[in-house]
Amino acid sequence: MIAGSLSRHSTVRLRFCFDGVTRAEPGVLSLQRLLALHRHGRFGKMLYPRDPAIARGVVLLRVHDALSDGASLRDLACAMVGGDVVEQDWGGPSDSLRSRIRRLARQAREMALGGYKELLLRK
């Protein structure tokens, strides 16, 4: 039989070895995903929950792209919260909006300089 040409009637032997109950969960989840794919021919949404860190990562990537294209911090603020809010808050007594945008810019630069590796190594 050629690799990758398994039919619905082919026999596949799977062996899972678990070192303790707490370490079994990732293996069981992988098996559930495989079975769902086999049964339904697609990936089940419930077996792939959204990671809240992904949304933050997307924002940081967009901020980095904007900075690389020459956007100012004020430009970033306008894109994120709207020009009307920036008009009211940017030069006002509260520094919260400017601080938030500066933090985003700093985090985006840190991620581009290697911080993304932590995201890849996260379990």
For residue range 42-66, what is the model confidence (pLDDT) as tens digits? 888 888 888 888 888 889 999 999 9
Give me 118's structure tokens.
Answer: 């932590």
| pLDDT at residue 121 greater than cutoff 80 | no
pLDDT confidence bin for 14, thresholds 50/70/90: confident
State which amino acid sits at residue 19: D
pTM of the predicted model, to two decimals? 0.59
Locate the domains of the chain by residue range: 13-49, 52-121
Question: Residues 79-115: pLDDT tens digits?
Answer: 999 999 999 999 888 899 999 999 999 999 998 888 7
**How far, in Å, CA of 65 to CA of 26, rounded?**
35
In angstroms, the Cα distances linking 76 to 24, 95, 99, 103, 117 are 44, 15, 12, 12, 25
Angle at which helix 73-81 crosses helix 96-110, to 10 degrees, equals: 110
